[in-house]
Amino acid sequence: MDVSKHYNKHRPRNETSVEMIGIRNFHNCIKSVLISEACNRTEPHDRYLDMCCGNGGDISKLVHNNIKQYFGMDIANHAVERALQRIKGQSFVTADAISFNAFSAIAGHMLQNMRKFDIVSCQFAIHYAFCNERTARTFIQNVAYALRVGGSFIITVPDADFLQKSRKLLGKKFGDQHYSVKFDSLDEFTDFGFGYEFTFKGAVEQLKEYVVKQDVLVKLCQDCGMHLESSKNFSEYVEYRDSALWNRMGATYHDVSRIYTTYHFKMYEFLSDE
């Protein structure tokens, strides 16, 4: 299924399973921590670009971190409409969201002519850009166009190491009652275009995604002046558990969360990859 069609159909979940609610809340908890850490390490952190913003699920997290200016971008127009509804009533000084392909060169031209952002975020979406090298490079260059020197680029994405180890141990298809991953082959991961079919209950249904190898991502970002500050698998956040936050958000950890990892990059100098 086409990504934009999938996310246009996908509305905010009304999940009734207690276990799935806890898992989803855990993932939101991690994003809250990732955003807070980026804000704490980025001063000022007034301007926030949400690339592939979807339904705007992170908007409320930004208000708690004193983000003043929000701009969201997503290819799925119906999802953007829902994000715009979420913006209403929030305490941003300025806020907007538009339907636009963040992976396109045209997006880069637009971002070059905008005021730079303090934080750029791409949550659960960058793997779609790794369908080929050109698209991946274009997207990372777009991030560089948008981000000021000293700014932060934060990501959540499926963990290539976890995928590789699981495939080696379990074969081309693996998962549990919460998720499934299906590869076409057992070939070694290539840098770009190595796809798999992914399902995550209540969020993604048999959608084509692409492996994002850490060394490749780091090199692409370095080519544009961004350097890796930290990277943690979702399972590592259990060690830094904030009981008050977990309890408030109703978060529970499950092994399925090991499929995801986070990245935090810093822009040290703007470099064009063109």
Secondary structure class of 81 (helix, strand, coil)? helix
Instruction: Give the number of other Cβ atoms within 10 Å of residue 161's Cβ.
Output: 12
pLDDT of 9 reads: 63
How far, in Å, CA of 122 to CA of 44, rounded? 20
CA distances from 58 to 87, 114, 210 (A): 10, 22, 23
Residue 246: closest CA among 32, 14, 18: 32
In the CATH hierarchy, which top-level class contains the domain 3-159+213-267? alpha beta
pLDDT of 72 reads: 98
pLDDT of 197 reads: 97
Residues 6+ apart with CB under 8 A from 148: 116, 117, 118, 267
Instruction: Give the number of other Cβ atoms within 10 Å of residue 88's Cβ.
Output: 7
pLDDT in tens, 191-221: 999 999 999 887 888 899 999 999 999 999 9
Residue 45: closest CA among 101, 116, 114, 110: 116
pTM: predicted TM-score of the whole model, two decimal places: 0.93
- Residue labelled with tokens 């200016």: 69
pLDDT of 62 reads: 96
Residues 6+ apart with CB under 8 A from 67: 39, 45, 46, 47, 48, 92, 119
How far, in Å, CA of 28 to CA of 146, rounded? 25
Query: CB burial class (10 A; 0-12, 13-18, 19+) of residue 2?
Result: exposed
Per-residue pLDDT of the chain (274 residues; tens, 9 = 90+): 466 665 666 555 555 678 888 999 999 999 999 999 999 999 999 999 999 999 999 999 998 899 999 999 999 999 999 999 999 989 999 999 999 999 999 999 999 999 999 999 999 999 999 999 999 999 999 999 999 999 999 999 999 999 999 999 999 999 998 999 999 999 999 999 999 999 988 788 889 999 999 999 999 999 999 999 999 999 998 877 666 777 777 888 888 899 999 999 999 987 765 5
Every domain of the chain and the residues it spans: 3-159+213-267
